[in-house]
Chain A
């Protein structure tokens, strides 16, 4: 029994030492509400536009890589896949913000979104760069483990 306990504790410490935590979650007092507002507005405008059967027209709110990737065809394809699996987009609300190390210039904002047919919330992840432009945008199942 002593050997098992010792081996278990040793394994736990090995695991604890082997992992490095590059990202950290911002506390509520550290969160920039302007960035949260930008991310939430973009996500809901984008998804509501597609929900109404239109194409989202990018202006200067996103970097070129995002604009090039989210073409008219891609927008429709992605929303159709979402709709067939989870139903229409309903709403989104802010959940948390993560940064890499101490670099606050790039912020990863996680929103929880509800969809018509889904019992579970999805994650809308918006990455904002230092000039508050959208530099990343994903929709995936919500997890409390940040990947």
Chain B
């Protein structure tokens, strides 16, 4: 039962509580991303470059969050018969991004700060990033399911569309403004 909370904490945590916890996680992830040069330049992307100021990392993380929340909220408004609260969507999506802390946390170790392409360090970080990304996707799915109260095929199809659209939009906006 306890392990359920790892991929679906929204049974217990939603609304303002999830937003506050998510914001704490967001601040830590963004700070670590800046310190280690870990760019989340797309909903599903990662890149390693200590090449920019703090506002670039903040913008990337904000866009990732705002885009997925926007598409989920719009989908909920159109396709759900329940009343959708924006605070639930914002809070649960923000909380879902906390597992992404793993890659920047690994990069605080000196041997992972600068390394060769196709080196063991690269594969090590990418492997753990894939796990954290899969975890984040599962959390986002449950966040969407609970905050928008959608079910069955509608839920799965809309979730895939939301992920794809927000990934494309985030990349486009980042390219335009950064």
Contacts and interface: CB of A to CB of B under 8 A. Distances in A.
Interface of A: 8, 11-12, 15-16, 19, 21-23, 25, 96, 112, 119-122, 141-147
A19 B119 contact: yes
B101 to A, nearest CB: 18
Given A96-B114, A119-B56, A142 B120 contact: no
10 contacts: A11-B127, A19-B118, A19-B119, A22-B116, A120-B51, A120-B52, A120-B56, A144-B49, A144-B50, A147-B117
A15 B121 CA distance: 10
A143 B178 contact: no
B52 A119 contact: yes
Contacts of A15: 120, 123, 127
A119 B113 contact: no
Given A11-B127, A119-B52, A119-B53, A144 B120 contact: no
Contacts of A141: 49, 51
A16 B48 contact: no
B56 A19 contact: no
Contact of B52 (A12, A16, A121): A121
Given A120-B56, A120-B178, A145 B124 contact: no
Q: Size band of the B side of the interface?
A: 20 to 34
Nearest to B120: A16
A145 B123 contact: no
B164 to A, nearest CB: 26
Contacts of B5: none
Nearest to B131: A8
B37 interface: yes
Contact of B51 (A19, A112, A146, A147): A112
Contacts of A22: 116
Contacts of A146: 114-117
Interface string B41-68: 0000001111111001000000000000
A142 B127 contact: no
Interface in B44-96: 47-53, 56
Contacts of B113: 144
B127 A8 contact: yes
Nearest to A146: B116
A10 to B, nearest CB: 11
A109 B150 CA distance: 55
Contact of B120 (A21, A25, A96): A21
A64 to B, nearest CB: 30
B122 interface: yes
A142 B49 CA distance: 6
